[in-house]
Structure 1
Amino acid sequence: MLDRPEIVCICGSARFVDEMRAVNRELTFAGIIVVAPGESGEPVSDEQKNVLDALHLRKIDLADRVLVVNPGGYIGESTSREIAYARATGKPVTFTAPVDA
């Protein structure tokens, strides 16, 4: 049993920012610490995207588990890498929508 609240890292495509915000809110009010993707609100350069991608892997390191926000089962390339990283480091990964095996 943890002596602190569970920490969940949200992963998912930037196209689902509203859905990720809703999941963040729901988990927070359930007493869970949430780490989520960074948001810029505007287009980012390739260099900035690389920084954000690397930073998100460190957020996964901090988490007890990963929750993938994937409406309609969609998982993009970056999210696929994050899922593979989480699994390789032994983090449980769950999804908000079913995915094909």
Structure 2
Amino acid sequence: MPDRPEIVCICGSTRFLHQMRRANRDLTFAGVIVVAPGEADELITDEQKVALDTLHLRKIDLADRVLVVNPGGYIGESTRREIAYAHATGKPVSLTDPVPSDQWTLPGAHG
């Protein structure tokens, strides 16, 4: 038995907020500590976006692994940066949906 539960950082486009919330719920009920993107009910400024993006990288630092919520295989630029950061820091990355090989290859990622 591990000393603490696994920590998973959820990444993905905020357009998939509903799916990220579902992944958060499912992982939480499975006994996993989940860190997820910050949410805002209104438009945010460019400065706030930069701050949230930086904070999310710190969340990746805390995690044991990263789960990318990407319905239909979609991965946007911010999520690509997060995946690259996770790989650079040695974090395993998995995807909820496969990415078509003609669109983009994720070295070291597994679904």
Length-normalised TM-score, structure 2 = 0.89
Aligned to 2:57: 57
C-alpha distance after superposition, 1:62-95 (max 9, x if no partner): 0000000000000000000000000000000000
Residue 75 (1) aligns with residue 75 (2)? yes
Post-superposition, which runs of at least 4 consecutive aligned residues in structure 1 deviate over 3 A?
A: none
State the SS of the aligned residue for 1:94.
Answer: strand
Name the CA distance, whole Å, in 2 between partners of 1:2 and 1:53: 30
Structure 2: gaps of 5 or more residues:
106-111
**1:32 maps to amino acid:** V
Query: How many matched pairs?
Result: 101
Q: CA deviation at 1:13?
A: 0.2
The answer to which of 1-10 and 65-74 deviates more is 1-10
Name the CA distance, whole Å, in 1 between partners of 2:9 and 2:87: 13
Structure 1: gaps of 5 or more residues:
none
Q: Give the percent of matched residue pairs that are identical in Structure 1 and Structure 2.
A: 76
Instruction: Indicate the structure with greater helix content.
Output: 1
**2:19 maps to amino acid:** E
Name the CA distance, whole Å, in 2 between partners of 1:41 and 1:23: 20
Name the CA distance, whole Å, in 1 between partners of 2:43 and 2:2: 39
Q: RMSD of the alignment, in Å?
A: 0.8
**1:51 maps to amino acid:** A
State the SS of the aligned residue for 2:55.
Answer: helix
Q: CA deviation at 1:2?
A: 3.0
- Which of structures 1 and 2 has the larger relative contact order (alpha carbons within 8 angstroms, sep 6+)? 1
State the SS of the aligned residue for 2:53.
Answer: helix
Aligned to 1:18: 18
